[in-house]
Structure 1
Amino acid sequence: MSALTLYHNPRCSKSRDALKLLEARGVEFQVHRYLDDPLPRAQLESLAARLDTPLESLLRDNETEWKALALSSPSRDEILAAIAEHPRLMQRPILDRGDRAVIGRPPEAILALLADD
């Protein structure tokens, strides 16, 4: 299996559940606490490209930081720039295999990434 990275926010219950799910299955993975170590724009763009979902799924648009930006029809660049500037806007958890990534909402969604390796 390729190296796995879990983009994790320990204050998020879904993220904690995904972490426990991986640990319970004995999966080897690295934890990237993206609030402590934010992803640069280029890395966000690469991560978004590996998701099987639209870019908007990477965005937590209910957060105060997003609402303060007041972007009515944000472009791809505006979304990526907002997440880079405000890491809390990134959806979590995300399991990244390097060639494909999955948002763990619900946490069990990450199992699909494990199954197709």
Structure 2
Amino acid sequence: MTTIYHNPRCSKSRQCLSILEEKKEDLQIIKYLENPLTEDELADIITLLGVEPIDLVRKNEAIWKQEFKGKQLTNEEVVKAMIDHPKLIERPIVIKNNKAIIGRPPEKVIDIL
């Protein structure tokens, strides 16, 4: 099973999903804006990605610039910001066999298939 945390409004996320469909992956599609992640789920994803929480933040989003930019945030505060504002989560995220990748560029997803 391959899981994609997907935002249908995002062209990169749609491209990544297309690649997964072309590869005939057994997919679980999670529209994380409609079904927000829990703190534990997001923490697990961050661990699988092997990144710091700040590396998963979309820093060009207006909400980040208005509320968080320039502040010294702890990892817990960054995670809370993404939980409270799911738009801040970089996308798409693809998980397979306990490995995760951010699908940017979309072709990068092939690395974990």
Shared fold (TM-score greater than 0.5)? yes
* 1:9 alignment counterpart: 7
Instruction: Give distance in 1, aligned partners of 2:68 and 2:13.
Output: 27
| Identity of matched residues, % | 38
Structure 1: segments with no counterpart, 5+ residues: none
Instruction: Give distance in 2, aligned partners of 1:95 and 1:45.
Output: 15
The 4+ residue runs of structure 1 with deviation greater than 3 A are none
Summarize deviations over 1:83-106 as a string: whole Å, max 9, x none.
000000000001012511100000
Summarize deviations over 1:54-78 as a string: whole Å, max 9, x none.
3322111111111222352221011
Aligned residues: 112
Which moves more between the two structures, 68-77 or 3-12? Answer: 68-77
Letter aligned with residue 47 of structure 1: I
* 1:99 alignment counterpart: 98
Q: Does 1:82 find its partner at 2:81? A: yes
Aligned-residue CA RMSD in angstroms?
Answer: 1.3
Instruction: Give distance in 2, aligned partners of 1:41 and 1:98.
Output: 21
> Of residues 52, 55, 67 in structure 2, which corresponds to 1:54?
52
Letter aligned with residue 73 of structure 1: Q
> Of residues 7, 18, 22 in structure 1, which corresponds to 2:20?
22
Structure 2: segments with no counterpart, 5+ residues: none
Asked whether the equivalents of residues 52 and 75 of structure 2 are also in contact (C-alpha less than 8 Å), the reply is: no
Instruction: Give distance in 1, aligned partners of 2:23 and 2:13.
Output: 16
So what's the TM-score if we normalise by structure 1? 0.89
Instruction: Give distance in 2, aligned partners of 1:54 and 1:42.
Output: 15
How far 1:36 moved relative to its partner?
0.3
Asked whether the equivalents of residues 101 and 112 of structure 2 are also in contact (C-alpha less than 8 Å), the reply is: yes
* 2:36 alignment counterpart: 38
Asked whether the equivalents of residues 52 and 102 of structure 1 are also in contact (C-alpha less than 8 Å), the reply is: no
* 2:72 alignment counterpart: 73
